[in-house]
Structure 1
Amino acid sequence: MSRPKNVLWIMCDQLRYDYLGCTGHPTLKTPNIDAMAKRGVRFSNAYVQSPICGPSRMSFYTGRYMRSHGSHWNGWPLRVGEPTLGDHLKKIGVRNVLVGKTHMTPDLEGLKMLGIAPDSIIGVHVAECGFEPYERDDGLHPTGRPRPKYDAYLRERGYEAPNPWEHWANSGADDDGSLQNGWLLVHADKAARVAEEDSETPYMTRRAMDFITEAEANGRPWCMHLSYIKPHWPYIAPEPYASMYGPGDVLPAVRSEQEKQSAHPVFAAYMDMRYSRNMSRDEAREKVIPTYMGLIKQIDDQMGVLMDFLETRGLLDTTMIVFTSDHGDYLGDHWMGEKDLFHDASAKIPLIVIDPSTAADATRGTVCDALIEAIDLAPTFIDYFGGKPPDHILEGRSLMPLLHGGRPADWRKVVFSEYDYCMQDVRLKLNQPIEQCRLFMVFDGRWKYIHASGFRPMLYDLLEDPQELVDRGEDSSCADVMARLQSALFEWALHPKGHITTSTEKIAAYAEKQLQVRNGILIGIWDEAELSAIRKKIGVPPA
């Protein structure tokens, strides 16, 4: 019997596109991820639909823009009834399984309104964003929250504490044994107290392999989302990764004084955020970035472990493998910390896709510069499993043609991303109404236009200014460019995919009748002759 197809969808959290060997980092060596790129296609122009964890992931998991799925911020539930990848895969007999992070919050009010218990089969499916949670761990575990399986694992290994995730895996120790809080940037150069094999990244790799081992006996095809928590903060790594890189590996910050002097009001407000002020300090960058690199190197080593496991079990020939991230990290570039805005350091992501089929042999090891959106993965997975992506629901496009060496003539000319800062104190600094805290990015491969509700636009020319240091939003010589991209944004905004309950095929079949039939009665007809002609046209016997 032929083995079923599978998808292994690997996502890192807050991994910049340019912090890999295959994307050009000069000192960070990632041979295992580079080897993955040689076996598949690396997409060099892939962008998220929102540069923050929750909304970005909800776009990945639904295949829909933030404006469509409605989850604008971390902790905002994806509403009950919003179609997910899990719903689409379930229809074609594929398990959609989670190992790691989703940042999903259940719509408890919606479940209650419909009388669905959150712990029921349907309730779990909805509450977990369409995933079967083999092991969920979102990280960021404050004391007092329910502990995940990882905390239980740590305790079993002797790491006793009220919060072992924080006190062992994400904290260091001073010479006298006192705790050094991993949340504090000043301690980013310290080693985590946990042994490397017990830290989060290898633990999640093992859990993924546990699932695969169990799934082989089941025989059903699966899509497993292996979602690592790192290199997201707390920026702290176990040895040997904690001391693998140093200040000499820190690249110069991409920023200029002009950015500060002529900053757009929203950009200026974000430069003034606490995390931006701190990450703009050279001292902070020299502590944080080597650890960030160490955490990435640990992920790369685990990719080697995982690929060897798949090869040993003969799964490489039937498993599509995707490696990506939910967004980037400014790391002090542009006087910024965190993510939030639309510079490439934040909104652009690494994306490697390995299609094991022979149809993809010609593209192995290539780099594709087509404009890609994160929402393209959902239709790609459905397409790979032999299903038909429901194009009246999904707003992304399957990457299968690109993986097989073609590029459709009608491939997108621009990509979009959105951001809603109503939950940030930036709104208070700018005195903006909640409904006006919206930013929209349109990028055509050269020009990046950002519409800021209530303010002037921002504009960057990545051909002449690839580091995005000069905002030309007030440059009158760019008026035609801004008008063109603004028109593209308005066209996109006016045409969301809202027909999620009625397929395109059903609409087309109805419209093709060119008549309105209600209860068997043809309306709006002038006389018997016209009625007879219409009946003949649609194949209805004469009365």
Structure 2
Amino acid sequence: MTHRPSYILFITDQQRYDHLGCNGHPVLRTPNIDAMATEGVSHDRFYVASPVCMPNRASLMTCRMPASHGTRSLGIPLNQDNVTFVELLAAAGYDTCLIGKSHLQNVSDWDIQIDPPEHRDGYAAPPEELAVATRSDLDSGTYQYERQEYWDQPDPKVHLPFYGFNEYVAVMRHGFNTGGEHLEWIKKNAPETLALRGRDKQFTHDYTVPQAIRTKVPEEHYSTTYIANRAAAWLKARKGKDKPFLLVVSFPDPHHPFTPPGKYWDMYKPKDMVVPAAYEIDDWDPPEYVKSAERARAADPSLGQMEGYSLAVSKQEALEARALTCGMIAMIDDAVGQVRTAVTKAGVADKTVQIYTSDHGDHLGEHRLLFKGAEQYDSLTHVPFIWADPKGDSGTRSSDLAQTHDIGTTILEHAKVEKSLGMQGVVLPTVGGAGRDAAHIQYETQRTQEAFGPRPRVHTVVYENWRLSMYLGKCANELFDLAEDPGEMTNLWKSADHQEVKARLLERLAELEIAAVDRVPLPTAQA
């Protein structure tokens, strides 16, 4: 086993592709992540399997599409019947550890947003245990490890392995309000910080963007620092060990609320941020979901203080969100540098592949929106991906299409561990695989929305220089030419000149949908 490489996978939450120095951001400085890119391969066309946390993180773990692993939307824990690539590495002799955010299970106690069915007069209603077409234990104790109620018990412990991780340092939620082992550590080691954790405890500031919170929690007690410290300590303890490992370092930032602590709050200024094109084009006719969001915000300017769905924002609010996001990413970059230094000090840098990605993006003012939703814009679906192998290519960029569910299959191939039957990820050309010719994205949400209708679904294909999205519900379908219109401002779905290319993309989407239908479980006999 000693000849097998180790892996460190850095994951951020809600970071767009273009928010790294090495990916062309004109202001943001990320020297440590840029150094990783210099040592490896940066992917310019890396897409999520779903542009929201739980489904995409489940796709990362299972190497499968949301419709196959079952975590189709927020609120559905990843069923432990799924095999993860982490389990396969552990079975092959790897030490496996997750430090930080998991979000493979629910983190809130909020009620679901699906209206119960109305039963017709004279018809027998099914009993509760038969009311849904499949039986499930997803509300059992096995799936409560990321809820605060579980951590409020005396001496809470997560039963291991956790989806294949033999060690798990849990950090739940975001910003100043993280829970799990981070909160337990604060209670024991910095109890004075508890009084500083609150929306009503923040420093005064003049930012107007919703969820801008100038936290009083000091940098040294913020979640990003805690995760970096735990990861560095874990690596230090490995010095002299030959056993290969997978270490996942998962930061809750730069997801909203916008709470860069200490020096990171003032590190970037709104006036220095690039103004999104939608605020500069006078004759842009926005799609209905933008108009709907603008109507809702005009009716209630306080919207967004607690919500996480796409929100209409002013130009100034967008610039503020961008500046604060850059501050949070700068702190992550410093944390990445700390972990990378620990890799070198532990003597494992020459046999450890370092990987960097994010679970999805954020509008950050593109199309006059903030946060994320059913929209399929590049700002939500396109994320960073860096593969830095000390024995591989360095300082190169790849234009190959790739996706989140390819990460695990690529790690397995590189580690010479066979994947499970039914895994749908491919092996990236970076490590000698065939790659893929199209990206396939699936999205679903619980909440009925004016522009999208009840429980909207949207499936997308990115193929050649095109993006086609089909919405199940009220929303108009979309076709964009990403080469001529990279800002996705002109929907070509009804364009007479683009019907042939639309038909070609619809055919490719249909093929991808067929390929994503499960081939597992396997038959148990011929018949």
Q: Specify if TM > 0.5.
A: yes
1:23 aligned onto 2:2: no
The residue number in structure 2 matching 1:414 is 438
Q: 2 CA distance for matches of 1:286 and 1:257? A: 13
Q: 1 CA distance for matches of 2:140 and 2:228? A: 38
- The answer to whether the 8 A contact 1:55-1:72 is kept is yes
- In structure 1, the residue corresponding to 2:324 is in which secondary structure? helix
Quick one: which amino acid aligns to residue 110 of structure 1?
D
Quick one: which amino acid aligns to residue 437 of structure 2?
K
In structure 2, do the counterparts of structure 1 residues 16 and 457 end up closer, same or farther at CA, with 3 Å as the change threshold? same
1:397 aligned onto 2:430: no
- In structure 2, the residue corresponding to 1:317 is in which secondary structure? helix
The residue number in structure 2 matching 1:438 is 457
The residue number in structure 1 matching 2:395 is 365
1:319 aligned onto 2:352: yes
1:348 aligned onto 2:388: no
The residue number in structure 2 matching 1:124 is 159
Task: Kindly report structure 1 stretches of 4+ aligned residues shifted beyond 6 Å.
Answer: 111-119, 257-261
Q: Using CA pairs below 8 Å that are at least 6 residues apart, which structure has the higher relative contact order? A: 2
The residue number in structure 2 matching 1:233 is 256
Q: 1 CA distance for matches of 2:71 and 2:438? A: 23
Query: Shift of residue 278 of structure 1?
Result: 5.8
Quick one: which amino acid aligns to residue 344 of structure 1?
D
- The answer to whether the 8 A contact 1:192-1:236 is kept is yes
Q: How does 1:419-430 map to 2 (within 5 A)?
A: 419-421=443-445, 423-426=446-449, 429-430=450-451
Question: RMSD value over aligned CA atoms?
Answer: 3.5
Query: Shift of residue 109 of structure 1?
Result: 5.3
- In structure 2, the residue corresponding to 1:500 is in which secondary structure? coil
Q: 2 CA distance for matches of 1:198 and 1:125? A: 26
Q: 1 CA distance for matches of 2:106 and 2:220? A: 32
- The answer to whether the 8 A contact 2:277-2:487 is kept is yes
1:95 aligned onto 2:95: yes
- The answer to whether the 8 A contact 1:10-1:323 is kept is yes
Q: 2 CA distance for matches of 1:226 and 1:8? A: 7
Q: 2 CA distance for matches of 1:106 and 1:130? A: 18
Quick one: which amino acid aligns to residue 404 of structure 2?
A
Q: Deviations over 1:430-461 (max 9, x none)?
A: 57354xx2101101131100011245420110
Of 267, 277, 283, the residue aligned with 1:244 is 267
- In structure 1, the residue corresponding to 2:362 is in which secondary structure? coil
Q: 2 CA distance for matches of 1:431 and 1:439? A: 10
Query: Shift of residue 117 of structure 1?
Result: 11
Q: 2 CA distance for matches of 1:473 and 1:61? A: 34
- In structure 2, the residue corresponding to 1:492 is in which secondary structure? helix
Q: 2 CA distance for matches of 1:303 and 1:116? A: 30
| TM-score normalised by length of structure 2 | 0.81
Query: Shift of residue 49 of structure 1?
Result: 0.8
The residue number in structure 2 matching 1:525 is none
Q: How many residues align?
A: 478
In structure 2, do the counterparts of structure 1 residues 278 and 486 end up closer, same or farther at CA, with 3 Å as the change threshold? closer
- The answer to whether the 8 A contact 1:141-1:166 is kept is no
Query: Shift of residue 312 of structure 1?
Result: 1.9
- The answer to whether the 8 A contact 1:172-1:192 is kept is yes
The residue number in structure 1 matching 2:490 is 470
Q: 2 CA distance for matches of 1:469 and 1:289? A: 20
Q: Which moved more, 1:337-346 or 1:247-256?
A: 247-256
The residue number in structure 1 matching 2:362 is 329
The residue number in structure 2 matching 1:254 is 277
In structure 2, do the counterparts of structure 1 residues 268 and 474 end up closer, same or farther at CA, with 3 Å as the change threshold? farther
| TM-score normalised by length of structure 1 | 0.79
Query: Shift of residue 43 of structure 1?
Result: 0.4
The residue number in structure 1 matching 2:86 is 86
Q: How does 1:120-519 map to 2 (within 5 A)?
A: 124-125=159-160, 128-140=162-174, 147-160=179-192, 165-166=197-198, 172-174=202-204, 185=209, 188=212, 191-216=214-239, 219-255=242-278, 262-266=285-289, 268-269=291-292, 274-275=303-304, 280-340=313-373, 341-357=375-391, 360=392, 363-390=393-420, 392-399=421-428, 402-404=429-431, 408=434, 411-421=435-445, 423-426=446-449, 429-430=450-451, 432-434=453-455, 437-454=456-473, 455-496=475-516, 498-502=518-522
In structure 2, do the counterparts of structure 1 residues 155 and 290 end up closer, same or farther at CA, with 3 Å as the change threshold? same
Quick one: which amino acid aligns to residue 348 of structure 1?
H
Q: 2 CA distance for matches of 1:355 and 1:160? A: 42
Q: 2 CA distance for matches of 1:260 and 1:306? A: 48
Q: 1 CA distance for matches of 2:64 and 2:293? A: 27
Q: Which moved more, 1:103-112 or 1:60-69?
A: 103-112
- The answer to whether the 8 A contact 1:171-1:236 is kept is no
Query: Shift of residue 296 of structure 1?
Result: 0.9
Query: Shift of residue 135 of structure 1?
Result: 0.6
Quick one: which amino acid aligns to residue 396 of structure 2?
T
Query: Shift of residue 258 of structure 1?
Result: 7.3
Q: 2 CA distance for matches of 1:115 and 1:33? A: 36
Gaps of at least 5 residues in structure 1 are 175-179, 511-515, 519-543
Quick one: which amino acid aligns to residue 370 of structure 1?
D
In structure 2, do the counterparts of structure 1 residues 448 and 379 end up closer, same or farther at CA, with 3 Å as the change threshold? same
Q: Deviations over 1:396-445 (max 9, x none)?
A: 1122xx225x573xx42211111113x1241xx257354xx210110113
- The answer to whether the 8 A contact 1:172-1:181 is kept is no
Q: 2 CA distance for matches of 1:375 and 1:388? A: 15
